[in-house]
Amino acid sequence: MEAEARTSGSETAPTTRLGGAGLWLGIALALCACGSPTLQDETARVLALEPERLRLGFRTDRPTSCEISLQGGPDATPRQAVTPTGTRHRAGFEGLSPGTTYDYRIACEGLAPFEHAVRTPADPEPALRIAVLGDSGKGSRGQNQLARAVEAAEPGIVLHTGDLLYEADERRVYVRPYAALLPDTPLFPAMGNHDVEFWDRFIGLFELPDNGPPRMTPGRSYWLDRGDVRVVVIDSNHGPKSLRYEIGPWLREVLMAEPAPRFKLLVMHHPPYTWGRHEPILPLQDEIVPLLEEAGVDLVLSGHDHNYQRTAPLLGGALAPAGERGIVYVVTGAGGGDLYEMERLPAQKPETLVAYHDDGYSFTQIDVTPDALLVEQVSAGGSVLDRFEIPARAAP
């Protein structure tokens, strides 16, 4: 049973869909019905956040009515939203101030309240840190150790390259490992091949932008803007025809739209180029890579192989000629699943492969500045395994 909140104060009535580049904020709770009321996961989730509004979503283990209060901003006026009796709750607040800290409190009848703080992004946003990881959903010790390193980096948003769920227990493999991260940091996932098996549970964890290709399932491909970055997420679990006729035209339109953002990132699960356990995905090379080159994408982030790999700037799968700007392809799939060795790496490392790391868990950290993307691969212990820079393109 889903319950939409009634709001009071200066906020307007919330909606359940995302349009354009708008981002919402969501919080999901699972509450224990045994003994005294407590938070089953001992945390909340923030799904999306934008400078002037937020959206909250949370679950209770039994039907109940809940009150969500928000306080902060220049006038410090409290705002409330009340959800009707149900188990899945939604509420939203608008008219917030950019770059401002707000305290939220969720109180449900008969259950202990949950309190936390969240900060809206500045507008404009002069700097942004993005964390990227993938193939995490095992609930392993390595996943939990890497989660602590991601938390320590204090990213503004997290991108996930897919395989968030290897099993149906989303609390064990997603909510609990990131319990300290999710209450104030939104996460945007790509659809992995294992996530397809648990689609209903996967999509139930998020409220993703509904701006993907027409006639395709919402939430599997989408895009968002954050600061000077356009992030496009595509579902790579498709064959050549869908890539060419459904995803391709939409992808070109999104990437070529004006005004052009300073940086363009593409996130998908399957890598066009890899030397790990898996073969490179030829349909992506044929149908998607030419579009990315035409649109001037700066960085492609994938998973599927459970390791870290970085290419030199490439055009057509080869080194970009001198004076021409290519695309850097990163595989960042060492998020917590069983690690994969570079099984297909020849004795002499190819010149297109610049760096790799296959014997430890790691995530990609991207610092967005006006002049460049500053990229580091960070281990679970916090050490820097690789570092590179992608300068901003010259204005036309």
270 and 343 in a single domain? The answer is yes
Host domain of residue 210: 128-391
CA 240/CA 246 separation, integer angstroms: 10
* Number of domains into which the chain is organized: 2
pLDDT of residue 220: 96
Beta-ladder partners of 143: none
Tokens of 295: 């649109």
Among 227, 243, 319, 332, smallest CA distance to 281 is for: 243
321 and 180 in a single domain? The answer is yes
Write out pLDDT tens, residues 184-218. Answer: 999 999 999 999 999 999 998 898 999 999 999 99
| pLDDT confidence bin for 12, thresholds 50/70/90 | very low
180 and 290 in a single domain? The answer is yes
104 and 133 in a single domain? The answer is no
111 and 134 in a single domain? The answer is no
- Specify if 396 maps to a domain: no
Tokens of 15: 């909606």
Q: In terms of residues, how long is the chain?
A: 396
Instruction: Give the highest mean pLDDT range of 67-71, 146-150, 167-171.
Output: 146-150
Q: Taking a C-beta distance cutoff of 8 angstroms, is the pair 275, 245 a contact?
A: no
Tokens of 104: 């939220």
56-76 average pLDDT score: 83
Instruction: Report percent pLDDT > 70 for the chain.
Output: 89
331 and 191 in a single domain? The answer is yes
CATH of residue 174's domain is 3.60.21.10
| pLDDT confidence bin for 5, thresholds 50/70/90 | low
Span of 25-39, 282-296, 310-324, 331-345 with lowest mean pLDDT: 25-39
Write out pLDDT tens, residues 336-392. Answer: 999 999 998 988 889 999 999 999 999 999 999 999 999 999 999 999 999 999 999
Please say which residue of 119, 139, 167 terminates a domain: 119
- Specify if 36 maps to a domain: yes
